[in-house]
Amino acid sequence: MKSCPQCAKSLKLIDIGGKDRLACLEPACDFVHWDNPKPVTATLVTTDAGLVLVKRKFEPFVDDWCLPGGFIEASEHPAESAAREVLEETGLHVEVQKLVGASAPGRGINVVILFYLAKAIKGDLIAGDDASDVGAFQRDQLPKNICFELHRQMIDRYFSENGSF
Ligand SMILES: [Zn+2]
């Protein structure tokens, strides 16, 4: 971000509260680019056949596998968002059981991931529009190419704790 979204003047890096932040110095404008992270969900879905993963159809990491999830919509509860994303990407209706983790931003992508545990209650595994495939896996069947380190860590924990957390 180089210019002010409010008045289009150029932004300057200044110290606010001990941190360098891009801010607009126009007296009539008070814009500060706080650069707050966006929340996203990622959900560990249990089915009779195993843990559900989706194969990515779009960049980044096309053709790698990861947990279903995505951005939270305006006025949507995170748990509701988790269930919606799972349905859109996998065709499964789920019952969200609990929040099992939250990540700090700072791996080149400014998001906070909320990890949920859920179980499938109905529906058939069908890849949605932004997935090229979807599957349910036991630990020894997991694909080698699972992207996102934090997803891999949570998948590991899931199997280490027998999906109970
Ligand atoms: Zn401005």
- Ligand 1 centroid to 37 CA: how many Å? 21
The rounded Å distance from CA 40 to ligand 1 centre is 29
Separation of CA 27 and ligand 1 centre (Å): 8
Structure tokens belonging to residue 41: 């969900």
- Percent residues over pLDDT 70 in the chain: 100
pLDDT at 4 exceeding the cut of 90: yes
**Å from CA of 28 to ligand 1 middle:** 8
Mean local confidence (pLDDT), 136-144 = 97
* 80-127 tens-digit pLDDT: 999 999 999 999 999 999 999 999 998 778 999 999 999 999 999 999
Query: Going by C-beta distance under 8 Å and a sequence separation of 6 or more, which residues neighbour residue 121?
Result: 93, 94, 95
- Tell me, in angstroms, the distance from the centre of ligand 1 to residue 10's CA: 8
Task: Write the pLDDT tens digit of every residue in 145-163.
Answer: 999 999 999 999 999 988 8
